[in-house]
């Protein structure tokens, strides 16, 4: 039999699937091809969901917010005061940070908050603090928030100040962005990129593989060489080191913050009502004394590469500063962005010499006579 390519094509047309479809035949055949082509993708997605997403969903379903006591009060007379430490974006548990700040025990008990890894709700946190305080006989709360933790501290402070019988002795803000404009552009863009990923990719809130990609991208300056030649290349030894760090600290670590939790933290900054919180905390409620507001920052604003602390300071002074305000700014040399674990001596010195006297004096309203005419220019500290 002679070979005839035209006859072969005609035979294929005669025997193909959907050859008898007369109504929308071409469209139906196109949809059939797309469906068949998508089978490998659906298989891959099923593996992704079963292996990567579902186990993390089950783990997160068992997480709950909690409070741990890190230090008892240095003076037993201060047992009715609790200092509550709250960490910032990407962090889950404040215990390691609070443990590096024993000077906080000069104010009273030192508590750390471990967030719920499924998401962030400041009302839940304030209720948790209120219940714990009631159970152990604490009547005065001082909140300490590092970076974005300061936004949480302000919201929780307002809840406690207005809706509980507890007094709020002070709110300490460590390099806190008072609104999204205070976050430097590079960090703001990284957060917005994460929100976009999570918005359109199913399972992104739990996906460990996506977390690996995002974390490696954030560390690319360590292993992608764009300077030595016209063609960027990868330093594989540095890339392996970065990958090991990501897997150890961010992916396989059961205490690492989930993508969904980081998303809720960033949304807290985006929707921050910090300025409204400050206004609410400046008014007396049921005879309670307005809490002291303390802003910790590096002496050199450029040393904080995440938050524009000069901008935050200006906004804080407009709301809570001046001769009738309750703000003190503490400038610390040699610190960076909310890094008490890396600069513990400087932070503890600042707490002992500036924060403790400010918060103690606020309770008796005596601090106004000793704070000086311009709180924004006071409070530089030196190492002990």
Same domain, 115 and 226: no
Same domain, 178 and 81: yes
The domain boundary residue, chosen from 40, 60, 80: 60
Residue 205's closest CA among 122, 113, 120? 120
Strands 167-174 and 66-71, sheet pairing: unpaired
Model confidence, pTM:
0.74
314-360 confidence digits (pLDDT tens): 999 988 877 677 899 999 999 999 999 999 999 999 999 999 998 98
Residue entry with tokens 């933290």? 265
Same domain, 76 and 118: yes
Same domain, 174 and 189: no
Q: Is 219 inside a domain boundary?
A: yes
Q: What is the sign, positive or negative, of the torsion defined by CA atoms of 306, 308, 310, 315?
A: negative
Same domain, 81 and 229: no
Q: Would you call 67 helix, strand, or coil by DSSP?
A: strand
190-235 confidence digits (pLDDT tens): 666 666 666 666 766 677 787 787 778 767 778 888 777 777 888 8
Most confident among 57-66, 171-180, 197-206, 278-287 (mean pLDDT): 171-180
CATH code of the domain containing 129? 3.40.50.1820
> Vertex 216, ends 177 and 145: CA angle to 5°?
25
Helices (H), the chain: 5-15, 25-47, 54-60, 95-99, 122-136, 149-163, 185-200, 208-218, 236-246, 259-270, 274-281, 309-320, 344-350, 356-364
Same domain, 240 and 296: no
The neighbouring-strand residues paired with 174 are 146, 296
Q: Is 80 inside a domain boundary?
A: yes
Same domain, 52 and 100: no
């Amino acid at each position: 039999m002679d070979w005839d390519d035209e006859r072969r094509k005609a035979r294929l047309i005669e025997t193909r699937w959907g050859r008898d479809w007369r109504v929308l035949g071409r469209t139906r055949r196109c949809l059939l091809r797309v469906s068949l082509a998508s089978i490998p993708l659906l298989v891959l997605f099923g593996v992704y969901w079963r292996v990567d997403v579902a186990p993390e969903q089950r783990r997160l379903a068992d997480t709950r917010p909690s409070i741990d006591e890190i230090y008892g009060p240095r003076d037993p007379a201060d047992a009715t005061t609790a200092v509550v430490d709250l960490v910032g974006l990407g962090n889950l548990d404040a215990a390691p940070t609070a443990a590096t700040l024993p000077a906080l025990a000069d104010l009273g008990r030192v508590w750390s908050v471990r967030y719920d890894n499924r998401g962030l709700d400041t009302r839940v946190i304030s209720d948790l603090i209120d219940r714990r305080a009631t159970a152990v006989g604490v009547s005065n709360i001082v909140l300490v928030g590092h970076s974005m933790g300061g936004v949480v501290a302000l919201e929780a402070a307002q809840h406690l100040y207005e809706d509980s019988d507890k007094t709020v002795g002070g709110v300490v803000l460590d390099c806190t962005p008072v609104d999204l404009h205070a976050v430097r552009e590079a960090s703001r863009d990284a957060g917005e990129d994460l929100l976009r990923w999570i918005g359109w990719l199913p399972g992104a809130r739990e996906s460990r593989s996506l977390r690996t990609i995002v974390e490696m991208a954030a560390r690319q300056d360590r292993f992608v060489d764009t300077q030595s030649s016209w063609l960027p290349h990868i330093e594989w030894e540095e890339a392996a080191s970065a990958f090991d760090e990501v897997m150890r600290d961010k992916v396989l670590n059961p205490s690492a913050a989930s993508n969904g939790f980081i998303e809720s933290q960033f949304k807290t900054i985006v929707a921050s009502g910090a300025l409204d919180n400050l206004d609410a905390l400046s008014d007396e409620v049921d005879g309670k004394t307005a809490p002291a507001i303390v802003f910790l920052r590096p002496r050199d604003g450029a040393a904080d590469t995440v938050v524009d602390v000069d901008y935050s300071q200006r906004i804080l002074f407009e709301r809570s500063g001046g001769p009738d305000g309750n703000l003190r700014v503490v400038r610390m040399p040699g610190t960076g962005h909310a890094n008490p674990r890396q600069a513990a001596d400087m932070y503890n010195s600042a707490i002992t010499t500036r924060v403790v006297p400010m918060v103690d004096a606020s309770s008796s309203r005596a601090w106004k006579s000793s704070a000086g005419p311009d709180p924004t220019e006071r409070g530089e500290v030196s190492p002990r």
